[in-house]
């Protein structure tokens, strides 16, 4: 049997060399350039999906308002009519769980019009760019 090898006190333990560190940083940089845009794309799609879910939730609340009151809130009453009675007869709200109106994922208020041009009411968000139209993340999220 061989005796256990021991280190001599004069031997020095070595860490990573500069070349090894540079190689690791280059690999991490390449991964970031490949994965980064995909993650950002998913984030934008996620916000659009959240906006669609919120529009659906607001549509449901508008339906409850109509059931109780017999009509949808007017454009002047707006979505605020879902959380504030404002003297509306037969109002049995609030029709949203929270007593505040949700903002779209980009921090802006949802747009509402009744009567709508596309149905009894129009409910929409302008998307990431905050203007009408657009594609991908900038596309409008609508109730119609």
Q: What is the structure's pLDDT at 14?
A: 65
Q: What is the structure's pLDDT at 136?
A: 76
* Beta-bridge partners for 123: 112
- Choose among 54, 42, 40, 47: nearest CA to 106: 47
Q: What is the structure's pLDDT at 46?
A: 80
pLDDT tens track for 105-143:
999 999 999 999 999 999 999 988 888 988 877 889 999
Superfamily of structural domain 22-142: Glycoprotein, Type 4 Pilin (3.30.700.10)
Q: What is the structure's pLDDT at 128?
A: 87
Q: What is the DSSP string of 48-81?
A: HHHHHHHHHHHHHHHHHHHHHHSSPPPTTTTGGG
Q: What is the structure's pLDDT at 9?
A: 59
Q: What is the structure's pLDDT at 1?
A: 56
Q: Could you tell me which residues come within 8 angstroms of residue 132 by beta carbon, excluding any fewer than 6 positions away?
A: 126, 140
Domain-wise residue ranges, the chain: 22-142
Residue positions counted in the chain: 144
CB atoms < 10 A from the CB of 45, how many?
Answer: 12
pLDDT profile of the chain (144 residues), mean per 10: 60 73 87 75 75 94 95 94 87 87 93 94 92 84 90
Q: What is the structure's pLDDT at 133?
A: 84
Q: Is the pTM of this model over 0.85?
A: no
Q: What is the structure's pLDDT at 134?
A: 84
Backbone angles phi, psi at 19, to 5 degrees: -60, -45
Q: What is the structure's pLDDT at 101?
A: 92
């Amino acid at each position: 049997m061989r005796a256990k090898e021991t280190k001599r006190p004069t031997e020095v333990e070595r860490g990573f060399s500069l070349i090894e560190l540079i190689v690791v940083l280059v690999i991490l940089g390449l991964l970031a350039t490949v994965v980064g845009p995909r993650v950002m794309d998913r984030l934008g799609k996620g916000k659009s999906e959240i906006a669609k879910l919120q529009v659906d939730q607001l549509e449901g609340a508008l339906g409850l308002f109509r059931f109780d009151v017999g009509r949808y809130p007017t454009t002047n009453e707006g979505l605020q009519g879902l959380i504030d009675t404002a003297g509306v007869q037969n109002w049995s709200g609030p029709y949203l769980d929270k007593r505040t109106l949700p903002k779209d994922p980009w921090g802006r208020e949802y747009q509402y019009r009744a009567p709508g041009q596309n149905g009894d009411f129009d409910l929409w968000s302008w998307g990431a760019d905050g203007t009408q139209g657009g594609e991908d993340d900038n596309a409008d999220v609508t109730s119609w």
